[in-house]
Amino acid sequence: MTESGLTVIFRTQSDIEANVVEALLDSHGVQTLRTAGPTPGLFQFKLNPLGETCIAVRDEDAVDAVRIIDSHREQVGGGMVVPLPQEFDALEARIGYRFKDRGLLEHALTHKSKAHEDPSGGVADNESLEFLGDAVLGLVVAESLFRSFPSYNEGQKSKIKANLVSTASLAEMAEQLGLGEHMILGRGEEKTGGRRKQALLADTCEALIAAIYLDGGLDPARTFLMREFSAGIDAAKNPEYFGRDHKSRLQERLQAHGKPLPVYRVSGEVGPDHRKLFHVEVFVGDDLIAQGVGRTKKEAEQEGAKAAMDALERS
């Protein structure tokens, strides 16, 4: 979209409302541009001096855009018109926690691709929240394992913890909570299936943990995590829990069927050093049979081996 031929069709002082309207219009195929605050010359329309967020569309899309927004409005007291119901109600119900500051929840759901595409520079991504959430997650899980398994040695507790906080585990939690449908993504990430990517889902889950912690303190964060991890902690009480790891199981499975041993190749590394994710491909001979993602090469290989076992069992 160019800077000319634009019509401002929506103004708000709420980033949440702006995100909702953008997502609504995007879902109807209407491309938008957003700016916040008085930034002269960025667009050829006059910005509100109060620093409101403005959403603009092509002139030819303006009528349809207004119609789409009006169809989702509701009247409230005092004659105000607010766009859309609170879209986070269902998510908060699934989380089991109601935010006092919903801006924190919005922040936790905002991927860096959205921040990079925002021309105003006023959108903050969730990477700092991921960093904090990882620390809160590690503390709560370690404390729970310390109390739940006093007779287990350090290695056993470390293995349980690694399984619980792995990328695959967090991504599964995010899927169960429906975080993918609420993530605020840039258009490029949206088009490449970002809502289903394990790494993005896991990162958003950690950011959500941090948002709960910042909004309500450690107790609500602990309550949320213990509810989500209760099944995994109970599973660790099974004597068979400490069976052979996924890589060993895959190797044994392939050897039993007369196939070559698996080869693990790092296909990529993404993210800053303190939040790096490794992508690993699993080959059997010349065939790529699975992929894995993890915060270390070892974790990525284990996740790849697990995915390979799942694929072999389905074949």
The domain spans of the chain are 6-87, 127-242, 246-314
6-87 and 246-314 in the same fold: no
pLDDT at res. 204: 96
At the topology level, CATH places domain 246-314 in Double Stranded RNA Binding Domain (3.30.160)
Whole-number Å distance between alpha carbons of 282 and 288: 6
Mean per-residue pLDDT, 39-67: 65
At the topology level, CATH places domain 6-87 in Alpha-Beta Plaits (3.30.70)
pLDDT at res. 121: 63
The residues annotated with a catalytic role in the active site are 134, 206
For residue 114, the number of C-alpha atoms closer than 13 Å in the C-beta half-sphere is 26
Reported as type and span, the H/E element at residue 23 is helix 15-27
What is the distance of C-alpha 269 from the center of its chain? 18
Helices and strands in the chain: count of H runs, count of E runs: 14, 8
Mean per-residue pLDDT, 5-25: 78
- Model confidence, pTM: 0.59
Whole-number Å distance between alpha carbons of 93 and 62: 35
Tallying the residues shown for the chain, one arrives at: 315
pLDDT at res. 241: 78
Per-residue pLDDT for 290 more than 80?
A: yes
pLDDT at res. 42: 34
Whole-number Å distance between alpha carbons of 155 and 8: 59
Local confidence band at 81 (pLDDT 50, 70, 90 cut-offs): very low
Question: Is 214:135 a contact under the CB 8 Å cutoff?
Answer: no
Domain formed by 127-242, architecture: Orthogonal Bundle (1.10)
Whole-number Å distance between alpha carbons of 229 and 223: 10
pLDDT at res. 84: 40
Q: What is the pLDDT of residues 97-151, one digit of tens each?
A: 999 988 899 899 999 998 887 766 667 889 999 999 999 999 999 999 999 999 9
Whole-number Å distance between alpha carbons of 7 and 1: 12
Per-residue pLDDT for 199 more than 60?
A: yes
- Label residues 227-256 b or e (16+ Cβ within 10 Å = b): ebbeebbeebeeeeeeeeebbeebeebbee
